[in-house]
Amino acid sequence: MRDRSPSFSRFPAAGAALAAAGAVLLVTGLSGCTAEPTYSYASVVPPVPVSAGEFAKLTPATTFTTIPTAATDQDPFVVTDGLVVHPLTAQVVYLAPGQKPVAVLPATELGGPTWVPVVLASPGWVQVLLPSRPNRSTGWIYTAGTAASELVIRASPYLIRIEVGARKLTVDEGGTSLGTWTVAVGAPGTPTPTGRTFLLALLAPPSPTYSPLILPLGTHSSAFSTFGGGPGTVGLHGWPDPSVFGHAVSNGCVRVPATALHVLSEIPLGTLVMITA
């Protein structure tokens, strides 16, 4: 798989939900240069101090956890400007600028680097989507004065759109379409969740059955609290029987043709995925 600088990664999951055990981590890169919101330091709201003891008690924001006190994404169908964040060291996640801490965003996710999309910026702060339950969870990370050795902000030119009703997946780069494919989506009893989410990881199962690659997203099934030994993470993956494409037959994941899977495998982690009804 082609590497893009600077590098960052993703991981695959299984079925309509994540079964990460034994999978091989693949690494891709992110096109674009360092990007950071501009602001005046005088207008920055300082973060609430967090002691080492308090930090240790905060829940890691991963696909395996639930952050019940996290704020809900208020604009789940608005396309972002493509900013993505990678914590090089674990970062405290706050409810809002100047408000209480609710979680910790770890530097790694599923064995690879954590990348999450920015959905809103305030002076010295960014609000990001979290990979935890409940779906559409968000949190704020303090960026003012944060060293480059602790936090990286980049800009992804890509956007992935999934239209559940139309059974369509489209990939755009900088406003130019890289392709549209007919896909399979969740069955009525196990629907594909809607709203904006992101590419969480890229996995290569050591003994693939239905797909050589699986791309888990930062969202979960509403029908399964667990699936295949994992936390019910919804993902994108291939499928050996093309007759499923165009139908609502999966357990919540989106099954894509081989050509679409190849394109998706080249897209950086943290890239926004917009799922609409």
Could you report the per-residue pLDDT of 50-74, keeping only the tens digit for each? 999 999 999 999 999 999 999 999 9
**Which residues contact residue 186 at a Cβ distance below 8 angstroms, ignoring those fewer than 6 apart?**
16, 164, 192, 221, 248, 250, 251, 252, 253
Please name each of the domains of the chain with its CATH number: 7-29+157-276 (2.40.440.10), 41-155 (no CATH)
Pairing of strands 233-237, 214-220: antiparallel
Q: Considering the entire predicted model, what is its pTM?
A: 0.88
How would residue 13 be classed by pLDDT, with cut points 50, 70 and 90?
A: very low
Q: Is the pLDDT of residue 247 over 80?
A: yes
Question: For the sheet containing 214-220, what is the strand order?
Answer: 7-10, 24-29, 203-204, 214-220, 233-237, 254-255
Residues 120 and 4: their CA atoms lie apart, in Å, by: 26
pLDDT tens for each residue of 171-205: 999 999 999 999 999 999 999 999 999 999 999 99
Q: What is the pLDDT of residue 12?
A: 29
